[in-house]
Amino acid sequence: MNIALLTAGGSGNRMGQDIPKQFMCIDNKPVIIYTLQAFQYATEIDAIAVICLKGWDTVLQAYANQYNISKLRWIFEGAGSNQESIYNGIIGLLNAKCSENDIVLVHDGVRPLVSEEIIRNNIEICRKYGYAVTGLMCKEAIMERVDDNIHEIKIPRERLVRTQTPHTYRLGTLYQAHKAALERGIKETVASCTLLAALGVTEQHIVLGSEKNGLKLTRPEDVELFKAMLHASPESWMK
């Protein structure tokens, strides 16, 4: 089974709004529904689980019912950090009798422009290698901030990757990784790929992402960009 595990357990303080960013309505639709629909419509996804901010689970379920998100099977409670929240989701899936061989796509609930191609490629690469991380090669000049100055980074930019989500693994792989992290005191990693890397995994295969999928709704200006992308259409002359 291929399962989308969406993280929607944050309060979204940087957005500065009165409600969590995943539940803000843009063009009369909640952000989380845009993301859910991407996986609902992806033919290779069998089921969806959401790690939800405490107290918002009934709102999430009501929206899912309204928008016919029939693949939503589980809602798990979020925790104090991203790593803890994902672990809650993993334990929830295991308790729901999901197989350790099931493929799990961990994806940000506020990254709504993921394409079916990216979803499909994540599943394919995970099946082949056991790990898949969505990302794009850097095209910017990357510098390191030191106090109020910027310093050169010795790594050539063509070797640097801007990671996105999904991050895709077998359920058993995720469980063993989080268990090992707890035992070794590895805490508050920002993403599944960094947790695996902290444990010494060096062969997480990359899946090509997109600039659209790079948009994670974090600050108010991201809402403007999202609306522009929603209403954009390709130029007729472009190949």
Contact between 25 and 67 under an 8 Å Cβ cutoff? The reply is no
Q: What is the reported pLDDT for 186?
A: 96
| 163 DSSP β-pair partners | 135
The structural domains of the chain, ordered by start, are 2-134+165-231 (3.90.550.10)
Task: Quickly count helices (H) and strands (E) in the chain.
Answer: 7, 11
Q: What is the reported pLDDT for 238?
A: 83
| 77 DSSP β-pair partners | 52
Contact between 164 and 208 under an 8 Å Cβ cutoff? The reply is no
Contact between 136 and 209 under an 8 Å Cβ cutoff? The reply is yes
DSSP assignment letter at 199:
T
Q: Which of 203, 227, 217, 87 is nearest to 165 (CA)?
A: 217
Q: What is the reported pLDDT for 161?
A: 94
Mean pLDDT split into 10-residue runs, the chain, 239 residues: 95 80 96 98 98 96 98 96 96 98 98 98 98 94 91 89 97 98 95 96 96 96 95 87
Q: Quote the pTM value.
A: 0.95
Q: What is the reported pLDDT for 41?
A: 98
